[in-house]
Structures are given as C-alpha cells and as structure tokens.
Structure 1
Amino acid sequence: MKIEILGSGCAKCKKTKEIVGQAVAETGTDAEIVKVEDMDTILSYGVMLTPGVVVDGDVKIAGKVPTVDSVKKWIS
C-alpha cells in the first residue's frame, strides 16, 4: 500500500504525516508513506488545498488534517 501526504511542509502537513504514521503503526499495515511537496503532482490529484492524503492513488481527504480513526478506516 502506498500512502501519499500532499503538502508543502506546513504545520498541518507535518501533523497529517504524524497521524498517518500513527494509524499505520497501530493497525500493523504494511504501507509506504511518501511526502509529496511538488505542486504539479499535488494538482494532478485535483487537490487545491493541503494537506491531502492519497491512498493507492485515491484521494481520501484534502484541506483538512484527518483523525487517526479516519486513516485507520482508509487503510484497513
């Protein structure tokens, strides 16, 4: 599974990466977590507001920091 964190490196983007990491650790999911800061790549997903989370190519959230429980639902 590939999880992409979309964002420029702002505080909310860093928090999102932390939450995704926590959810992956708690569920024991085998996932590659990638930080995407390239605006062309972010826009290619149709995401205008960051942070964003993409799981296996599917945009799950944009413009908000997800909860750990939300991320767990997306990856299980």
Structure 2
Amino acid sequence: MVKIEVLGTGCAKCKSLLKNVEKAVAELGVSAEVVKVDSIQEIMDRGVMMTPALYIDGKSMMAGRTATVEEIKRMLQK
C-alpha cells in the first residue's frame, strides 16, 4: 500500500491537491492511504516552506503548487 500525504493548512490549493490525489488514486485503482497533514508544526518539521506539498511513501514529490491528476498518476506509476 502506498502512503500519500498532502501537507497544507486548508487553503484552496491544498484542497484542490487533495481532490486531485484522490481522483488519481481512484483512476489508477492503486491501494493507497491518503493522509491530510494540516499541523503547521509537522509541516515545518519537514522543512516545507510553501504549501501545498505532496509526499509519497515519505519522499517529497512537490511543493508550492497543485499537481494535476495526470502528474500525480505519473508519480504513482514510478
């Protein structure tokens, strides 16, 4: 099972990224645990300076923007 984390405090971009992640997971049919991390302390502890940020299996994949469904699908297929 893949662990996908969306880091953000709840802004529009963060919500959009979460929605895109959920759609990409559904379209690919992968087994994934999608977690929303909204703790400012945890976000800072990871060194994230701009949200939203996307982590897949503990690895930072992107930060500061919303990835498209297609971009997320490519990340998950690697």
| Structure 2 partner of 1:46 | 47
| Structure 2 partner of 1:32 | 33
- Where in structure 2 are there 5+ consecutive unaligned residues? none
Percent identity, aligned pairs only, is 46
CA distance in 2 between counterparts of 1:22 and 1:45 reads 25
| Structure 2 partner of 1:57 | 58
Which moves more between the two structures, 39-48 or 28-37?
A: 39-48
Figure out how many residues of one structure are paired with residues of the other and give that number: 76
The runs of at least 4 consecutive aligned structure 1 residues that moved more than 4 Å come to: none
> What is the identity, as a one-letter code, of the residue corresponding to 2:40?
M
| Structure 1 partner of 2:72 | 71
Residues 45 and 59 of structure 1 are in contact (CA less than 8 Å); yes or no, is this contact kept in structure 2?
no
- Where in structure 1 are there 5+ consecutive unaligned residues? none
RMSD over equivalenced CA pairs, Å: 0.8
